[in-house]
Every structure is written in C-alpha cells, then in structure tokens.
Chain A
Amino acid sequence: MIWSDHLADQRAHRRYPIGLDIQYKLLSKGTVERLGSGRTLDVSSGGACFESSDALPSKGSLELVISWPCLLEGVCPLKLIMRGRIVRSDGQRVAMQAKFHEFRTAGVRG
C-alpha cells in the first residue's frame, strides 16, 4: 500500500483512541511466522494501530486477536478478529489495514 492510499484510508474511516490488549500472528505464505502481543492505540473499521511487544517489519500479513472488554455470562470472552496487512511500522508501533474483521465468542463465530 502506498502512502497516499494509507492517507485515503485514514480519511475514509475515523480512528478512535481505544487501548485494548491484542495477540498477533505475523503470517508468511499462510503459515505463522511469529506470535506476539501488544496493545491498540486506535481502532477503526479500516484497521488498527498498535504497540507491539517486539519490532515488526514494515510489511507483511497480520492477524490480530483483540480482547474486547466484555465477558458473556461472566465467563465467555469476546474477541475481535482482524486480518490484514502492515502498512507502516516504526519498529514497535505498527499500523495495519484490515481486510476483514468479525467478533467471535469462544469457539463460536459471530
């Protein structure tokens, strides 16, 4: 993604400052290259910006599992799954453009 596309995406989706814990998978050719954790700095329908526990490359495919602050029936965590690609990385600060996102409960889609 070129920078102008990234700016256009920012304009298309307002980003909201929300801090949520994440787990990420850095993917390469369909396999998990690396696992890590972090915390979101902002979230939008178009993606997320987060601080990673480790430095990430400036491009690559990512899957984020975002812990939503909600327990169903007091025990069942709600997760947001977001898949997309890295569009910017300043080491541990990473911007991701999402192609897909959905909520999942434990073992259940939707």
Chain B
Amino acid sequence: MNKYQPSVLIVDEDLGFLGWLGDLFNEIGYRALPALDCEQAVSLINRFKLDVDVVAVNDELPGVMGMLGMLKRAHRPLKIVAIRTANADVSMLIPAHATIERPSGWEPISRSDWLQKILNVLKQAEAKAV
C-alpha cells in the first residue's frame, strides 16, 4: 500500500535557499517542488497536475497573490508559509499561516536546528490553517 506523501511547493529566487529548504522538507517526508518564480510555479503545478499541501513562498515575488489564489482554489486546505528576510522591516504581504526567515549573517547553519525550525513552522501553519 502506498503511503501518502505530502507535497510542499517552495518558491523563491534564492536558489541556495530553495535547495536548502527542499532538502530539509525531503528529510521529513515531504515531496519538495521547487520554483524560482511564481510563473514557473503555476506552470509546474498545472502541467503536472500536482497536489500541494504546503506552499512556502517569498512574499515579495511578483505574481504571488495570483499564484496563491489559484492554489487555494485547487488545493484545500492549503497551508501558506511566507519566506522572509531576517529582520526585514516590512508588513506581511500575504495571508500566511506561518513565517520562515532566511538565515542572517554568514555563520554556518545547523541542519538539526533548521529541521526543528521547519517542524515548528509546519506545526504553527497547521494550527492556524484549521
């Protein structure tokens, strides 16, 4: 019997962070779908008719509201995680259930810390999306 594997769509122009998040989500059992912009994300979802449980998106990307609108119509309940720059002094641009901040500074990043961070973000998003 196939076990259901949840999917996360990650949309960010920072290729390294996109790969990093994808790698972490894979480790906790998600199928991570990457896109460098919203147009690419919509194309990927439509072309392959993919189900999305969670979308983690840079809320400053062009077309983000349109992409979220499309996803919310097709994928319910959809959990939305905003990708933000650490200490960014801007108001929340999208109706996110949780926020994840990029690493700040240039210190090495800890995989175990980030795995825990992802789990916490998912827990928070789960609670708020209900």
Contacts and interface: CB of A to CB of B under 8 A. Distances in A.
Interface residues of A, number: 26
B120 interface: no
Interface in A56-94: 68-70, 72-73, 76, 78, 80
A15 interface: yes
Interface residues of B, number: 28
Given A76-B48, A103-B40, A43 B19 contact: yes
Q: Which of B23, B43, B111 has the most CB of A within 10 A?
A: B23
B61 interface: no
A45 B109 CA distance: 17
Contacts of B31: 70
A5 interface: no
B36 A14 contact: no
Contacts of B33: 70, 72
B7 to A, nearest CB: 9
Contact of A69 (B14, B23, B40): B23
Interface in B25-63: 26, 31-36, 40, 43-44, 47-50
A79 B22 CA distance: 14
Contacts of A13: 14, 16
Interface string A1-40: 0000000000101111110100000000000000000000
A44 B22 contact: no
A70 B25 CA distance: 11
23 contacts: A13-B16, A14-B16, A14-B17, A14-B106, A17-B109, A18-B19, A18-B20, A18-B23, A44-B14, A44-B15, A45-B14, A45-B16, A68-B34, A69-B23, A70-B34, A72-B50, A73-B49, A78-B34, A101-B15, A102-B36, A103-B35, A110-B43, A110-B44
Interface of A: 11, 13-18, 20, 42-45, 68-70, 72-73, 76, 78, 80, 101-103, 105, 108, 110
7 closest A-B pairs by beta carbon, nearest first, are A16-B20, A44-B16, A16-B16, A45-B15, A18-B19, A72-B48, A43-B19
